[in-house]
Amino acid sequence: MLEPWRIEIVEVSTICYSARMSLTPALYIGHGAPPLLDDPLWSSQLATWASEIERPKAILVVSAHWESAPLSLGSTSGSTPLIYDFGGFAPKYYNLQYRAPGAPELAARVKALLGETVVEQPNRGLDHGAYVPLLKMFPDADIPVLQMSIPTHDPEKLFKIGQQLAPLRDEGVMIIGSGFLTHGLPFLRDFSIDATPPGWSVEFDLWAKEVLDRGAIDELMNYKSLAPGMPYAHPTVEHFAPIFITLGAATKADVAPTTAIDGYWMGLSKRSFQVA
């Protein structure tokens, strides 16, 4: 009777250990402009996605709207302030609030992991690339949030930063790269939410999906020369750059991400995914 008992204990112990070792996913999110908040479809997609993920202990977000070198960390104080970094929208959007706690402990961990010069900008609040999706994903604003700048557009350097930050996922930190898979705003002619996507937006979106499905990160890094739809899909590249931090934080670079949201918004690809 002793032998079966011993075998069962080993099995239970293994299951518990696996549960403790589960990693918080890293995400790449198409964040949209503030009117996203009034889009019932996209809002529900973000909320559903968040409900299917184990609640993180803290969030580290890299937004397309903060480019600063050397790499910088934003406010870590309580009730992190917001930046209304947009224009021409309804007055209500300038009264948005997202009073997330600051994350000083996370800031210290980021500095320790990167092992390089990291600048703190204590007065720098969350921009709309951070708080617009978080308003729908974690509306209670009760998870500490830290924003980090994009210090370069070089895909290989961003990928390395993601690799350096990957241990945070084992500590319950959700790493979010926030951008837009296509962002050719100067080439849009129809700004309605359900606009027919331009050919360059569709071509780039499908190419990126196919490359990601194959885990061909080297090809993705060469998107400027390989991707169809360029440079219209990204006349400037800050909305694509965060994808490489997310992918760098993946457990295995050649494992295909899981798409959580696809489709188009004002003709731009809102494809968003998570990596294991």
The answer to whether the beta carbons of residues 251 and 23 sit under 8 Å apart is yes
Q: Is residue 15 part of a domain?
A: no
Contacts 24+ apart (CB under 8 A), 80-88: 80/125, 80/126, 80/145, 80/147, 81/123, 81/125, 81/126, 82/125, 82/126, 82/127, 82/131, 83/124, 83/125, 83/126, 83/127, 83/128, 84/128, 85/127, 85/128, 86/33, 86/34, 86/128
pLDDT < 50 stretches in the chain: 1-21
The stretches of the chain forming alpha helices (DSSP H) are 2-20, 40-51, 104-114, 128-137, 155-165, 199-213, 217-221, 223-226, 242-248
What's the pLDDT score for residue 12?
27
Residues ≥6 apart with Cβ < 8 Å to 206: none
What's the pLDDT score for residue 115?
87
What's the pLDDT score for residue 78?
76
What's the pLDDT score for residue 9?
26
Q: Is residue 7 part of a domain?
A: no
Give the C-alpha separation, 45 to 130, whole Å. 17
What's the pLDDT score for residue 204?
98
Residue 242 tokens, joined: 């965060």
Q: Is residue 219 part of a domain?
A: yes
Residue 95 tokens, joined: 């009264």
What burial letters (b/e) apply to 106-135, b meaning 16+ CB within 10 Å? bbebbbebbeeebeeeeebbbbbbbbbbbb
CA-based torsion, 28, 147, 54, 37: positive or negative: negative
What's the pLDDT score for residue 13?
27
Q: Is residue 233 part of a domain?
A: yes
What burial letters (b/e) apply to 153-184, b meaning 16+ CB within 10 Å? eebeebbebbbbbbebbeeebbbbbbbbbbbb
The answer to whether the beta carbons of residues 144 and 100 sit under 8 Å apart is yes
Nearest to 84 by CA among 75, 74, 93, 72: 93
CA dist 24 → 9, 11, 48, 172 (Å): 27, 24, 17, 5
The helix/strand/coil state of 250 is coil
What's the pLDDT score for residue 255?
77
What range does the domain containing 266 cover? 22-275
The answer to whether the beta carbons of residues 219 and 226 sit under 8 Å apart is yes
Residue type, 216: A
Give the C-alpha separation, 150 to 60, whole Å. 12
- Please count the structural domains in the chain: 1
Q: Is residue 113 part of a domain?
A: yes
The pLDDT tens digits for 142-178 are 999 999 999 999 999 999 999 999 999 999 999 999 9
Q: Is residue 5 part of a domain?
A: no
Partnered with residue 28 across adjacent β-strands are 177, 273
The CATH number of whichever domain residue 188 belongs to comes to 3.40.830.10
Q: Is residue 177 part of a domain?
A: yes
Q: Is residue 64 part of a domain?
A: yes
